[in-house]
């Protein structure tokens, strides 16, 4: 099957090279808000990936029947219905995590990642590649969430998934938790540093200069 490499490409491309969070600036809100602990980050990642994949599949299946002028409304309604289902499932089986996620599950509806992918990809492709693209983007998003959630929980509380990893100084260990890690600013700093790290590793992602200093004009040209 010649298509297999193509599908593999569509699936792995968004993991690092076209990562939705660090390169496309999509879906940042929830990426920062839910990463105080690894458990909420993982729950959010799974919910988003499921919604994104299903929405891409449904929208791409009916893509020839959606009138162009009202397509945004149609897409939002499909996504909102899926989010309601996920929200009810979380409230029923994972009440504690659902409370921790607060309104951010509902906000998957307006997560630019979901609409961005359905608008840019699923609308023009048959269901199979559309769902694979959605899955790849969901996994790329999850990767960022898990990395940031892991760092924040490990250094903020000395725990991973609620289990002690670094013994705390209060309890006779050596680790003093950095409570700043649990506050809002550290999420911004970590994501900024992550973007820096990814772009140093993959220099082709760096943004062009907006202004070239006079001394470097010749060098730049």
Partner 1 sequence: MTGLWALFLNAAFVDNMPLILFLGLCTFLALSKQADAALGLGVAITGVLGITVPLNHLIYSAVLAPGAWAWAGMPELDLSYLALIAFIGVIAAAVQVLEMILDRFFPKIHAAFGVFLPLLTVQCAILAGSLFMVERSYTLAESAVFGLGSGVGFTVAVVMLGALRSRLAYADLPAGLRGLGIAFVLAGIMSLGFASFAQMAATL
Q: Which residues bind partner 1 (CB under 8 A)?
A: 22, 25-30, 32-33, 72-73, 76-77, 80-81, 83-84, 87-88, 102-103, 106-107, 109-112, 115, 183-189, 191-193, 195-200, 203, 206-207, 209-211, 213
Closer CB to partner 1, residue 67 or residue 172? 67
- Whole-angstrom distance, CA of residue 154 vs CA of residue 208: 35
CB 77, min distance to partner 1, A: 7
> Are 63 and 78 in contact, with CB atoms under 8 Å apart?
no
CB 200, min distance to partner 1, A: 4
> Are 46 and 53 in contact, with CB atoms under 8 Å apart?
no
CB 189, min distance to partner 1, A: 4
- Whole-angstrom distance, CA of residue 155 vs CA of residue 127: 42
Closest alpha carbon to 178 in 36, 71, 11, 14: 36
CB 193, min distance to partner 1, A: 8
Closer CB to partner 1, residue 26 or residue 55? 26
Closer CB to partner 1, residue 62 or residue 128? 62
- Whole-angstrom distance, CA of residue 139 vs CA of residue 64: 27
């Amino acid at each position: 099957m010649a298509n297999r490499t193509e599908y593999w490409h569509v699936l792995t491309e968004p993991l690092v090279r076209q990562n939705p969070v660090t390169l496309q600036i999509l879906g940042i809100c929830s990426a920062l808000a839910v990463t105080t602990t690894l458990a909420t980050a993982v729950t959010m990642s799974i919910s988003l990936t499921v919604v994104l994949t299903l929405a891409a599949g449904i929208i791409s299946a009916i893509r020839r029947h959606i009138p162009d002028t009202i397509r945004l409304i149609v897409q939002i309604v499909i996504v909102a219905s899926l989010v309601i289902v996920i929200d009810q499932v979380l409230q029923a089986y994972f009440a504690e995590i659902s409370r921790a996620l607060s309104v951010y599950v509902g906000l998957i509806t307006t997560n630019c990642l979901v609409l961005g992918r359905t608008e840019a990809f699923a609308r023009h492709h048959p269901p199979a590649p559309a769902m694979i693209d959605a899955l790849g983007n969901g996994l790329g998003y999850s990767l960022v969430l898990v990395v940031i959630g892991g760092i924040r929980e490990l250094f903020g509380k000395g725990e991973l998934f609620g289990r002690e990893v670094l013994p705390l100084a209060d309890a006779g260990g050596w680790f003093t938790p950095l409570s700043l890690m649990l506050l809002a600013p550290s999420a911004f700093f970590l994501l900024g540093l992550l973007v820096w790290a990814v772009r140093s590793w993959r220099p082709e992602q760096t943004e062009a200069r907006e202004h070239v200093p006079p001394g470097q004009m010749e060098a730049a040209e």
